[in-house]
Amino acid sequence: MPVYVCYFRLYNITLFQVALLAVVFEATIILFELPTGILADKYGRKLSTSIGFCLLAVSGIIFFSMKSFFGFLVAEIVFGLAETFISGALEALTVDSLAPEKRDLLLPRLFANRTVYKTVALLVGMIFAGVLGQFFLKFLFLPVIFVAIIGFVLTLFLIDVRNYESSNINLEIKAEKPSLPKIIFSNRAILALFGVGLLANFAYEPADQFWQVLFSEDRQVPLFSFGLITGAGLIIVAAMAKFTEKLYKHLAPYIISGFLLTGLALYIVAEFGFYPAIAGIIIYFILKELIRPAISTHLNILFNSENRATYLSGFNLTCSIGEVAAGLTAGALVAGFGLEFIFYFAAAAAILVPIVFLLIYSKAGSL
């Protein structure tokens, strides 16, 4: 992640083409996220996950061997497909492996643990990628192939469990095997969480896209410290994840306080100089990673087992649509109003998220 653009630039890919590759990747996810989720529920989550890791390996091979814009374009499409086959299916496979009678109690621990492992892996991966980028940039995608093969081998040991127990979704609706839109709009708690998944990107995308530019050009933060900044955030996330899992059951206060603090952190980044801005962006990284596991916990409580992969893919699709819309908006706003404005915009968007959440969720009852 930290240096893949440098890999593209090594082979004379223009900045416009870099942006186009990112758009193609997101477009692939938008097109195939829901269909692959449906296939996983119909033919098996283990099979879907296995296909995903095979496609991930293929994308790595294409990235490594076809060193041209066309080759990278094909690789991005295959990589996007791999993402869609794995995303909803693997989470559904994991959640359904939990004993039904204990699932609601175990879900917070599951997603807190996932946050810890993911965070540690990201930290190690970023350091390793930095070394590869500095000394062996041409071999950047070989570890991707290696990890994908390991992932595929591990899927062979998974067991595809499907528990058709009842959930918090109305039993009559469940018996009809409803479409995703019907599920979303029939349950206000689900609708509120989908709304958060969509709108949160208008806070996240501007910050993710432009914080490095703001810090290097306006805040005069040395480039070597960028890894320390992101690493500090990841270490704190790993330390806090086990503590925050106890708070997931209080969904509304957790979501509201999380996004209000996110808005405050982004305002500090925009308004203040060197050290406050660094503190603000670290807090932003922490909150972003700690909010998602609470959402995942409650979505899996609300979704029934039979169609879990489809519904989780639907949520991921909603988030991807939000990413594309927010990214385009951020690009237009930063071109017209400058870097600092985009962080004020992101702060306002973060504060808007809990307001919209409350307007929908207040009619859903408490979880």
The pLDDT tens digits of the residues spanning 9-43 come to: 788 888 677 778 888 888 899 899 989 999 998 88
- Residue 178 is predicted with a pLDDT of 59
- Residue 363 is predicted with a pLDDT of 63
Sign, CA dihedral 177-179-185-187, equals positive
Query: Tokens for 350?
Result: 């973060």
With CA atoms as reference, report the closest residue to 214 among 280, 261, 125.
280
CB 115 within 8 A of CB 180: no
Dist CA 108 CA 91 (whole Å): 13
* Torsions phi, psi for 140 (to 5 deg): -60, -35
Amino acid at 101: E
Mean pLDDT of 355-363: 86
DSSP 217: I
Name the 3-class secondary structure at 335.
Answer: helix
Mean pLDDT of 141-148: 92
Residue 1's Cβ-count burial label (10 Å; 0-12, 13-18, 19+) is exposed
Dist CA 285 CA 230 (whole Å): 7
- Overall residue count recorded for the chain in this entry: 367
Mean pLDDT of 179-206: 86
CATH numbers and ranges of domains, the chain: 4-361 (1.20.1250.20)
Dist CA 69 CA 190 (whole Å): 40
Amino acid at 267: Y
What are the tens digits of pLDDT across the range 322-357? 988 888 888 888 888 988 999 999 999 999 999 999
Mean pLDDT of 295-321: 89
Q: Which percentage of the chain shows pLDDT scores above 90?
A: 42
Mean pLDDT of 58-62: 95
**CA–CA distances in Å: residue 148 to residues 141, 219, 237, 341, 343:** 11, 38, 25, 40, 36
Dist CA 48 CA 39 (whole Å): 8
Dist CA 171 CA 143 (whole Å): 46
Residue identified by tokens 């296939």 is: 39
Strand runs labelled E in 139-293: none
Q: Whole-structure pTM over 0.85, yes or no? A: no
Sign, CA dihedral 211-213-215-219, equals negative
CB 349 within 8 A of CB 224: no
